[in-house]
């Protein structure tokens, strides 16, 4: 069993919706602090850890970006004690009815269980006891005619906390966040299921990489970045890429694993990792280097094709400032954006080790050797 499991389980048990990543950021910061030389938060919330390389200054740098934010819901209002909701990130409304959730209430009457650890002094976020609830789908007669049969739209769903309306008004405010309440569970074949594995599984892979690098010298500087707000437009990655101006960027994100309803060309099997992406978002020289390394190490990777948008932070890093050569690698994951996402733990380990290997092998003149066309 892998040692990354306790960290990953703790990480996906914490909230950290897009724009409100502090709880996740704090856990990651605690884990990374002994593994990097410096740690800080970017303006838009990304956690940025620097491992200095051994090369002569000025050293080239590689930024590894894995987003730490998760999708969820937000309270837009209260009607008779029931919470009205909107989505934060790409939530499929069809997986919502009957789903257990946690409401992170911030009203004056909500319980505070103490200040949380902050990575740097960006303020004092309070951790509130979450209120348990369920996403309620009203019965047909309470819905408009044309909304009774098919999936019920978000504007007609509520969250019921079981509390009485008076109490709800004291505890809950417009803007409060709601995440899935599904606890992590280990399934057969060394797999892990839970919510927010998109993309905390990749954060775990990056953590494995940092652990490996403790014993491997590397010439290049390494920026390990747990980006914010990827699910709402790669906002954190754009800001971090602009601020840090790395020489190259490698984005690690989950990708579609083969499974029920997902078997076509855009899906990849568990166990053959990582996926190495090809497409306009990817610098061909970086793809080639990673692929050649994986071939040399006899790692059973998969090639992943993205004809245009890669759907990841890489779309932002590639066009930051004067442009940053970008590579995207993927971790296959089933049931993406549900409360029961599924990954293989060995895949996380393998991806992390390959990343470390790639970084350790980066030579000082790698960029000079890049040839676009023969």
Partner 1 sequence: MKQLIQKLTETFSPSGFESAIREVIKQEVQPLADEVRVDALGNLIVRKGAKAKNGKRIMLAAHMDEIGLMVSHIDENGFIRFSSIGGIRTGGLLSGRVQFTNGTQGLIGVERDLFAVKSPTFSQYYIDVGATSAKNCPVKIGDVAAFKRPFLELGQRLVAKSMDDRIGCVVLIEALRALKTSPHELYFVFTTQEEVGPRGAATSAFGIDPEIGLAVDVTLTGDTPKSKYMAISLGKGPAVKIKDTGMLADQHIVEWMCSTAEKKRIPYQREVLDGGSTDAMAIQMTRSGVLAGCLSVPCRYVHTPSEMVDYEDVQNSVKLLVALISAPVNL
Partner 2 sequence: MPTIGNAQLKLLEKLCNACAVSGDEGEVRSIVMEEIKDHTDEVRLDAVGNVLATKKGSGKSPSTSLRTSQSHLRVMLTAHMDEVGFMLVADDGEGLFRFETVGGMDVRQLPGKAVVVGREHVPGVIGARPIHLTTAEERKQKISLDALRIDIGPGTTKVKPGDWATFATRFQRSGPSVLAKALDDRLGVATLIELIKHAPPEIDLLAAFTVQEEIGLRGSRVAAYTFNPDIGIALDSTPANDLPDWEGEENITYNTKLGLGPAIYVADGSTISDPRLVRWLAETGTASKIPYQFRQPGGGGTDAGAIHKTRGGIPSISVSVPHRYTHSAISIARIDDWKNTLSLLQAALANLSPDLLATERA
Which distant-in-sequence residues (6+ apart) come within 8 Å of 83 by Cβ? 75, 77, 103, 133, 158, 159, 160, 161, 168, 172, 178
Q: Around Cβ 135, how many Cβ atoms within 10 Å?
A: 23
Task: Determine if 23 is a binding residue for partner 1 (CB under 8 A).
Answer: no
CA distance 252 to 59: 23
Name the binder of 283 from partner 1, partner 2, none, CB < 5-8 A by kind: partner 2
What is 266-283 written as a DSSP string? T-B-TTS--EEEESTTS-
- Considering the complex, state which of residue 44 and residue 370 has its C-beta at the smaller distance from partner 1: 44
Q: What is the CA radius of gyration of the chain?
A: 21
Q: Which of 15, 42, 72, 274 binds partner 1 (CB under 8 A)?
A: 42
Please state the closest distance from residue 275 (CB atom) to partner 2, in A.
12
Choose between 87 and 346: whose C-beta lies nearer to partner 1: 87
CB 312 within 8 A of CB 318: no
Any residues with CB less than 8 A from the CB of 123 and at least 6 apart, and which?
A: none
Choosing from 61, 227, 229, 302, the residue that interacts with partner 1 (CB under 8 A) is: 229
Cα 65 to chain centroid, rounded: 9
The footprint of partner 1 on residues 298-337 (CB under 8 A) is none
C-alpha angle 277-282-284 in degrees, rounded to nearest 5: 95
Neighbours of 278 (CB within 10 A): 17
User: Which residues lie near partner 2 (CB under 8 A)?
Assistant: 264-266, 278-281, 283, 303, 305, 307-309, 318-319, 321-325, 372-373
Site string for partner 1, 152-191 (x = CB under 8 A): ---x-----------------xxx----------------
Write out the DSSP string of 65-91.
Answer: EEE--B-EEEEEEEETTEEEEEEES--
**Residue 285 Cβ vs partner 2, minimum distance, rounded to whole Å:** 10
Residue written as token pair 């998760």: 70
Residue from the set 86, 120, 214, 263 that interacts with partner 1 by CB under 8 A: 86
Binding positions for partner 1, 231-290, rule CB under 8 A:
232, 235-236, 238-240, 242-243
Name which of 122 and 266 has its Cβ closer to partner 1: 122
Min CB(308)–partner 2 separation in Å: 4
105 binds, among partner 2, partner 1, none (CB under 5 to 8 A by kind): none
Q: How many CB atoms lie within 10 A of CB 230?
A: 30
243 binds, among partner 1, partner 2, none (CB under 5 to 8 A by kind): partner 1
The helix (run of H) or strand (run of E) holding residue 4 is: helix 4-13
Residue 242 interacting partner from partner 2, partner 1, none (CB closer than 5 to 8 Å by kind): partner 1
325 binds, among partner 2, partner 1, none (CB under 5 to 8 A by kind): partner 2
Q: Would you tell me which residues interact with partner 1 (CB under 8 A)?
A: 18-20, 42-44, 74-79, 84, 86, 88, 122-123, 155, 173-175, 229, 232, 235-236, 238-240, 242-243
């Amino acid at each position: 069993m892998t040692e990354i499991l306790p960290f990953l389980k703790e990480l996906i048990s914490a909230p950290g919706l897009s724009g409100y990543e502090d709880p996740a950021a704090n856990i990651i910061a605690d884990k990374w602090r002994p593994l990097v030389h410096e740690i800080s938060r970017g303006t838009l919330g990304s956690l940025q850890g620097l491992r200095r390389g051994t090369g002569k200054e000025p050293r080239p740098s590689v930024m590894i970006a894995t987003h730490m934010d998760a999708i969820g819901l937000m309270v837009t209002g209260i009607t008779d004690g029931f919470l009205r909701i909107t989505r934060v990130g790409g939530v499929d409304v069809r997986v919502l009815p009957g789903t257990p959730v946690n409401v992170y209430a911030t009203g004056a009457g909500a319980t505070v269980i103490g200040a949380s650890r902050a990575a740097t002094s960006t303020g004092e976020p309070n951790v509130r006891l979450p209120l348990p609830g369920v996403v309620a789908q009203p019965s047909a007669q309470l819905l408009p005619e044309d909304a009774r049969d098919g999936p019920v739209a978000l504007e007609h769903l509520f969250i019921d906390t079981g509390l009485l309306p008076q109490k709800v008004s004291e505890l809950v405010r417009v803007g409060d966040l709601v995440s899935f309440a599904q606890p992590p569970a280990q399934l057969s074949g060394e797999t892990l299921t839970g919510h927010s594995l998109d993309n905390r599984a990749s954060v775990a892979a990056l953590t494995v990489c940092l652990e490996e690098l403790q014993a491997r010298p590397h010439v290049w500087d390494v920026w390990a970045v747990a980006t914010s707000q990827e699910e709402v437009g790669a906002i954190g990655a754009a800001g971090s890429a602009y601020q840090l101006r790395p020489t190259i960027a490698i984005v690690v994100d989950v990708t579609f694993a083969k499974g029920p309803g997902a078997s076509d060309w855009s899906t990849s099997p568990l166990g053959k990792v990582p996926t190495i992406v090809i497409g306009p978002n990817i610098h061909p020289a970086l793809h080639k280097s990673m692929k050649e390394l994986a071939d040399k190490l006899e790692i059973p990777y998969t090639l992943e094709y993205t004809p245009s948008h890669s759907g990841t932070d890489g779309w932002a890093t590639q066009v930051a400032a004067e442009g940053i050569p970008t590579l995207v690698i993927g971790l296959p994951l089933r049931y993406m954006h549900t409360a029961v996402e599924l990954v293989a733990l060995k895949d996380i380990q393998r991806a992390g080790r390959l990343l470390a290997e790639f970084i350790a092998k980066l030579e000082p003149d790698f960029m000079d050797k890049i040839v676009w066309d023969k």
